[in-house]
Amino acid sequence: MSRLTALTAAAALVLAAGCSASTSDAAAPTVDGFPLTLENCGRTVTVDAPPQRAVSLNQGSTEILLSLGLADRLVGTATWTDPVRENLAEDNARVPRLADDKPSLEVVSDADPDFVSASFGGTLGPGGVADRDRFDQFGIPTYLSPTDCVGMAATSVNADGARAEPLRLETVYQEIRDLAAIFDVRERGEQLVADLTERAQRAADGVPPGDPTVAYWFSDVAAPYMAGCCGASGVISSAVGARNVFADTTDEWPQIGWEAVADRDPDVLVLADLSRRTIDGDALESKIAFLEANPVTSRMRAVIDRRYVVVNGADLNPSIRTVDGIEKVAAALKEWGTA
């Protein structure tokens, strides 16, 4: 984009924000509890009124908002890694998709949002759609998932950094409660938290003992991304009583050689079946074909016994889909009896 184009777009955004503010200031009714101020990832966020034209920049954030029954207040979504959860598909179809990947700032501004949310600092930050300061300049409040800042050793880019503290489902629940408060649907937020808590507990009940070992492979055949100790995979492992063979690394998705994976020889492999097809190892079929043909990996116990648990990529992100991951891994362990 040329400097002139950028300046023109910025000026248009400022003008639009100013007109919107003047209109809403004159006409918007007072809502109890607003303006609402909360702390979010080291920033103070103030929302003058419940958003009516929100844009969600990541699938995880979008699925929370849809689960809270807010499709009618979404004017755009972006950055999808997988199909939307089936129970949300009908509502999701009513919301414009601005981009399958990261949209430009101009595309987001064209949707005329009064609020922007995201799951990852790599989307709402430097190198992403825009950093939060830029949206502040236009009077648009933003919210970043606390799963991408609470307990992180440093600023994350799409949850690939190291964690100083293990992720907890309570941090996902904090995101739900924060967004429910921002949109003035607190009761729906508490109901969603209760439903997810009950699902996670029910899934874990009855998993046979045995301390099975597990490795989580996200993608890439040449230098595979295998889950470290402390992200969504850590929540899943803890819930089902399994042990991640790479629990000695705090990086969320380190790239690890196949010899090292084979040396640790997990009982179970959790394989992400990604919707994207950008590198070899995204699709489930390419993962299994590699594992069973490669002379190093084909000798692993999980491969010999074909103990594969198939999940979506979104199930391995810190989100409400982490509970889906718990359910899928728990169901496989129950079926196999024990590893």
**Residues 188-238 pLDDT 10s:** 999 999 999 999 999 999 999 888 999 999 999 999 999 999 999 999 999
CATH 3.40.50.1980, domain 208-336, yes or no: yes
| Topology (CATH) of 16-199 | Rossmann fold (3.40.50)
Tell me how far the alpha carbon of residue 5 is from its chain's centroid.
32
pLDDT at 159 over 60: no
Question: Residue 323 CB: number of other CB atoms within 10 A?
Answer: 23
Are the C-beta atoms of residues 186 and 51 closer than 8 Å to each other?
no
Structure tokens given for 167: 């992720």
Predicted pLDDT of residue 337: 85
Predicted local distance difference test score (pLDDT) of residue 20 = 45
Predicted pLDDT at 279: 85
Collapsing DSSP to helix, strand or coil, 255 comes out as: strand
Average pLDDT across the chain, whole number: 90
Give which of 132, 172, 130 is closest to 151, Cα–Cα.
172
Check whether 27 has a pLDDT greater than 90. no
- C-alpha distances (whole Å) from 155 to each of 173, 178, 215, 321, 333 are 21, 21, 25, 22, 35
Global pTM value: 0.89
Largest CA distance in the chain: 71
Output phi, psi for 151, to 5 deg: 80, 0
With contact defined as beta carbons under 8 Å apart, do 115 and 135 qualify? no
SS3 letters across 137-205: HCCCCEEECHHHCCCECCCCCCCCCEECCCCCHHHHHHHHHHHHHHCCCHHHHHHHHHHHHHHHHHHHC
Q: Where do the CATH 3.40.50.1980 domains begin and end in the chain?
A: 16-199, 208-336
| pLDDT tens by residue, 76-110 | 999 998 999 999 999 999 999 999 999 999 999 99
| Angle between the N-to-C axes of helices 186-204 and 232-240, in degrees from 0 to 180, rounded to the nearest 10 | 50
> In angstroms, rounded to a whole number, what is the distance separating the alpha carbons of residues 21 and 336?
59
